[in-house]
Structure 1
Amino acid sequence: MSKRGYVVAVSLCAVLGLGAGASVATAAGGLAPSNLASETKPAPEYPRNANGNTYGFAIDSVSPETEPDLIAALTTDGKRGYVSKAELDVANGTAASREFRTPEDAVKWTETEGRADRSIPVYESDGKTVIGEFTVAGSDTQKANQALTELR
């Protein structure tokens, strides 16, 4: 990974709050903490629905690429279901980040598109039956929540 590519990747993680920090550190070579296991965990085998979509918990994945098509989530009223990884990636900026070429691109997206909360459908495991919605917190909500946490 080039130095510029590393700077862009780390900036994206910092600005967007993406959980790929460990992946970036490992990919950059030698920057991961030495106490991390050097073994690679095998990609999970998720169940498939009748449409061929995988479904399960994203936390079981070993990388963003191995996440299931339908990721376990709770609706805003507490029902268990699944959100589409593709729809989640659009809502949280992951899809947009694939087009970023500079840290400034990430900052611009965060200050415009990333400020507002976005709701996406929550499905049953069939990936078709909508049972509610899931809210992806925008940067304004995240900042407000952080301020409240700091008051405690």
Structure 2
Amino acid sequence: MTLRWGVALLVVAVVVLSGCSSPDGTTPSPAAASTNADGLTYGSALGAADRDAEPDLIQVETDDGTVGYVRKVDLYADEPANPTEAVEQQARRDEASVSAALDAVTTELGAGPATSVDVAAGTAALDAIQEAVVTGSATARATELLDALLAAGGITAARPAGTDDAALCALALDRAAAVNVRVVPVYESDGRTVIGEFPVGG
């Protein structure tokens, strides 16, 4: 899994959107949606045949375990309308991720900002760091991985002795993922009372 898709997959897993299957491979029937005083439907999107069948307020669970609802329009607000928009959006996300990762690392190192950024090389470096984390080789390969990321930003200065390259790789991944996340309000079933926030890999 590449970094740029990691956040989107996390959102799909947490929100449990349409088309999910149960462990036995069957598609569960949709939970009965209720209707609030404002005429908005609310409930789970699990088992909905398509987006039109999903309720207006989709049930989610926040990081602290609070169960509430996000507005469907908020959840899908940044979704591209066509393949061309999707490619353009991904290019912007890649650039933002690489820039955020490089800014975080260079700030930590006390180095100047990246002079020129090779987004493709930076994205490949972040993907390699993510893969190394997944396979358990991030610590052993930290120097090599960090060098590749810094090179994508045109940064070749030597790092101070004792630099924790593995920690800088983790910081880079964290900032790269966070820059494209937007937060939407979580409501009670009334659709008006805000009870929390929900991160969406926007």
Q: Cα RMSD over matched residues?
A: 3.5
Which residues of structure 1 form unaligned runs of 5+? 1-12, 24-35, 139-152
- Taking the TM superposition and a 5 Å limit, the aligned residue runs for 1:7-18 are none
Aligned match for 1:59, one of 33, 46, 52: 46
Identity among equivalent pairs (%): 35
Matched, 1:121 2:185: yes
8 Å contact kept, 1:44–1:66? no
Change (3 A) 1:68 1:103: closer
The reply on whether 1:76 has 2:59 as its aligned counterpart is: no
Unaligned runs of 5+ in 2: 13-17, 20-24, 98-178
- For residue 40 of structure 2, give the secondary structure of its aligned residue in structure 1: coil
Q: Using structure 1 for the length normalisation, give the TM-score.
A: 0.53
C-alpha distance after superposition, 1:38-62 (max 9, x if no partner): xxx9877521111011111111311
* C-alpha distance in structure 1 between counterparts of 2:51 and 2:195, whole Å: 25
Query: Which amino acid is the alignment partner of residue 82 of structure 1?
Result: Y
Q: Does 1:101 align with 2:84?
A: yes
Runs of 4+ in 1 over 6 A off after TM superposition: 41-44
| Corresponding pairs, count | 105
Describe the shift of the 1:100–1:70 C-alpha distance in structure 2 as closer, same or farther (beyond 3 A): same
Larger radius of gyration, structure 1 or 2?
2
Taking CA–CA contacts closer than 8 Å with sequence separation of 6 or more, which of the two structures ends up with the larger relative contact order?
2
Of residues 68, 74, 81, the one that matches 1:87 is 74
